[in-house]
Amino acid sequence: MPPIQIVGHRGAKGEAPENTLPGFLHARALGLNAVEFDVHLSNDHELVVIHDNTIDRTTNGTGPVANFTAAELAALDARAAFPDWPDIIGVPRLDQVLDIVDDMPLIQIEIKTDTPDRLEEVVAGVLQHVDKRGIGQQALITSFDAVAVEICGRLAPDQARAFIGRPTDPETVDTALRLGRGHVQFHLFRDHAPDQLQRAHDEGLILGGGPCDTIEDLDAAIELGISGVTSDFPSLLLAHLAQTEHERS
């Protein structure tokens, strides 16, 4: 059994266009058994998979995600970081992404910050998709926004969920214990105070973290007892783990 789970960040953000259908297909082709992605609400109240609250960085358009319908988002060119990618690809809907990844052992769905009323709609919609597909045991609902995690706990008390804390937040573990269900995520995990991670262990929480994009990051995560890490370059980490396992056998 590997010492740590590698989670493809936004599919495999450093290797294929992030949060796109080809990106998740690439993650599958690598043999990953876990992916992470982000969910926003479109203008026509569809759940769409994109990280930022605007389309500027990842597509050929400009403006807030919330100003566009799902069809308009799908018609964009989302290859910004990979302009030579062979096919034009747009912003996908959540159901399209789940069609690709819903048999994976871990599906990490991040709810992006929004207004409380829109968060209510987003979380309820995500949980509806999870329930309809019967993937509650595989899904981990996460957010930097404590309101989103609270809504998830209220609507689906048994659903695994995790607060994501930044290094500047000394209350990360307390918030995770209050709102989560046995999980906590440490963003920029190497920058968190060691006593925070140790306390999370002491409280019996399952630790996740990211980004983990180098062998040094991976070694540090294993040393810190982190169970799973999100990575933009999962190929690198998978190869290192395979080589390490080969050397031990």
Tens digit of each residue's pLDDT (9 = 90 or more) over 74-106: 999 999 999 999 999 999 999 999 999 999 999
pLDDT of residue 247: 83
pLDDT at 229 over 70: yes
Grouping H, G, I as helix, E, B as strand and the rest as coil, residue 90 is coil
Write the CA distances from 88 to 50, 130, 146, integer angstroms: 16, 28, 36
How buried is residue 85: exposed, middle or buried, by Cβ count under 10 Å (0-12/13-18/19+)? middle
pLDDT at 219 over 60: yes
pLDDT of residue 19: 98
pLDDT of residue 140: 98
pLDDT of residue 205: 98
Average pLDDT, the chain: 96
* Residue 1 confidence class, pLDDT cut points 50, 70, 90: low
pLDDT at 113 over 90: yes
Second CATH level (architecture) for the domain 5-248: Alpha-Beta Barrel (3.20)
Mean pLDDT of 46-61: 98
3-state helix, strand, coil in the chain (%, to 5): 40, 20, 40
CA triple 134-128-73, angle to 5 deg:
115
pLDDT at 248 over 90: no
Residue 192 CB neighbour total at 10 angstroms: 22
Break the chain into its structural domains and give their ranges.
5-248
Mean pLDDT of 195-216: 97
Print burial letters for 15-50: b (CB count within 10 Å at least 16), e (below 16).
bbbbbbbbbbebbbebebbbbbbbbbbbbeebbbbb
Number of helices (H) and strands (E), helices first, in the chain?
9, 9
Q: Catalytic residue numbers?
A: 9, 51
pLDDT of residue 3: 84
This prediction has a pTM of 0.97
